Structure 1
Amino acid sequence: MTETSETPGAYVRSGAAPGHRLRWNKVPEVTAYFWIIKVLCTTVGETAADFLNSNLGMGLTGVSLLMSALLAGVLVVQFRTKAYRPGVYWFAVALISVVGTLISDNLTDNLGVSLTTCTTVFAVALAVVFAIWYRREGTLSIHSIDTVSREAYYWLAVLFTFALGTAAGDLVAEKMALGYWVSAILFGLAIAAVAVAHFALGLNAVLSFWIAYILTRPLGASMGDYLSQPTGDGGLGLGTTITSVLFLAVILALVVYLSMTRKDVTESERELSLQ
């Protein structure tokens, strides 16, 4: 789903605080590359979280604290950039995928919170973020991430979409016991339905984007589990290490390609960068 840009050239609106003005939009254009890397990042979030939890010997809480600290550092770099930088941006997305998974796992595994409760809490939290974001900024479009405050709302929303997607995906898998591959097909069909509703029926572009963004999380997780889990559990048995390395390599190749070609940067921003 592709949004229509609300701020040509991604310049900050005139009402923004002078000390918080940014010249360009801080996130990529929504293209096929965007969705491919997003799904790959969600898969890595699932498999990498399992790998780290099993191999670092720090326990779920220790791994969560470590990855959260790393994410915080990368977000500091992201906020300090003047425009969208593929390497920094997608590194942050990959890390936030891991942290979102770990948050959900901590609540269910360490604290015994049910998946139904987790899903409900994350859905409410995301709705609250969207409500405050829209009330303060007047838009939820990712083509308008051109101030510090909007970028803060954006990353907070992204974190909750990953946590919500993890809990909801696990809830569906647990309640329906469909298996990894069937679950992936189910979530893929749900995303296709959103695309049809947007392109054929006129569903609002911003709403379509965020629904699809949430659904890609359980889609990627189902794919990751199918590839990494033992054959006896319904997977292909590749393991978390091979699966994580494989997907990280593809993500890296795509990010390098986008950094060189700038295919996911809006045309108006390409023109401005040449001035």
Structure 2
Amino acid sequence: MLRNKVPAVTALFWVAKLLTTAMGETTSDWLVKNVDPVLAVIAAFVVFACAIVLQFAVRRYIPWVYWLAVLMVAVFGTMVADVLHVELGVPYLVSTIGFAVVLAAVFALWYATQRTLSVHRIDSRPRELFYWCAVLATFALGTAVGDLTATTFGLGYLASGILFGVLFAVPGIAYRWWGLGATAAFWTSYVLTRPFGASLSDWLAVSHARGGLDLGTGPVSLVLFAGIVVCVVLMSTRRTRAQEAVAPEATPAA
């Protein structure tokens, strides 16, 4: 049995999650436009694989390890969704439905074998594997949904970001006031963070002709990365303080 290997769901967790989704979008775009696309995808996959292996190798939640894995899922998941549309010509509506089916299948198999989808119980290898499969599917699904509303439906990036920002808040409100289950609320919000963050980062980065502020994918990615670093440092500091607070209490008993 492992310790729970995912962070507590706090406000800082959601801030870090939104920053990683946003950076995944702009970093993926920057890589495929400034590096040979094939090499960019291969390199992203290698780093993604290494980050996931490292996450599985540790036996407890370590903030920088966990968020490195999430960030690389964001980058590589974005590339997977974009390759389907740009290179293979799959419409965003089709990829959205396809990724939704994949995510539903992951959840169904996860629950059928583990009898829980709770992120407070990621304490065994099978649950950890299901968790990261779900995370990857949510990123790919969120990317497809965000591009679907922004381009296919013609809402643009800013309007899409506002739309998904409102939708992102709904599960939390439903959990607090309307009795929605914690697990359902978490995973619904988790899916929506992807199009929420990605739409806003696209709006900041893309050209005026595409409805953005034209700040550039590179500069936006760097600013987002700095924000992620701050979040991870804060999480690490809080974790260290919590461990130090518990240690003196354990000493007399020992």
Q: TM-score range by the shorter chain?
A: over 0.9
Where does 1:189-268 land on structure 2 (aligned, <5 Å)?
A: 189-262=166-239
Residue in structure 1 matched with residue 41 of structure 2 by the alignment: 64
Q: What SS does structure 1 have at the residue aligned with 2:82?
A: helix
Give unmatched runs, 5+ long, in structure 1.
1-20
Residues 168 and 196 of structure 2 are in contact (CA less than 8 Å); yes or no, is this contact kept in structure 1? no
Q: Distance in 2 between matches of 1:253 and 1:221?
A: 20
Count the aligned residue pairs: 250
Where does 1:84-95 land on structure 2 (aligned, <5 Å)?
A: 84-95=61-72
Q: Distance in 2 between matches of 1:186 and 1:132?
A: 31
Q: Distance in 2 between matches of 1:84 and 1:74?
A: 14
Are residues 202 and 230 of structure 1, via their aligned partners in 2, closer, same or farther at CA, if it must alter by over 3 Å? same
Structure possessing the higher relative contact order (Cα contacts under 8 Å, 6 or more residues apart): 1
TM-score where L is the length of structure 2: 0.93
CA RMSD of aligned residues (A): 1.9
Where does 1:43-192 land on structure 2 (aligned, <5 Å)?
A: 43-56=22-35, 58-59=36-37, 61-192=38-169
More helix by share: 2
Aligned residues with identical type, % of pairs: 45
Give 1:175 shift.
3.2
Please tell me whether residue 27 in structure 1 is matched to residue 32 in structure 2.
Answer: no
Give 1:233 shift.
2.2
Q: What SS does structure 2 have at the residue aligned with 1:26?
A: coil
Give unmatched runs, 5+ long, in structure 2.
none
Are residues 95 and 270 of structure 1, via their aligned partners in 2, closer, same or farther at CA, if it must alter by over 3 Å? farther
Q: What SS does structure 2 have at the residue aligned with 1:143?
A: coil
Q: Distance in 2 between matches of 1:184 and 1:192?
A: 12
Give 1:272 shift.
7.5
Residue in structure 2 matched with residue 18 of structure 1 by the alignment: none
Residues 25 and 201 of structure 2 are in contact (CA less than 8 Å); yes or no, is this contact kept in structure 1? yes
Question: What is the identity, as a one-letter code, of the residue corresponding to 2:53?
Answer: V
Runs of 4+ off more than 3 Å? 267-275
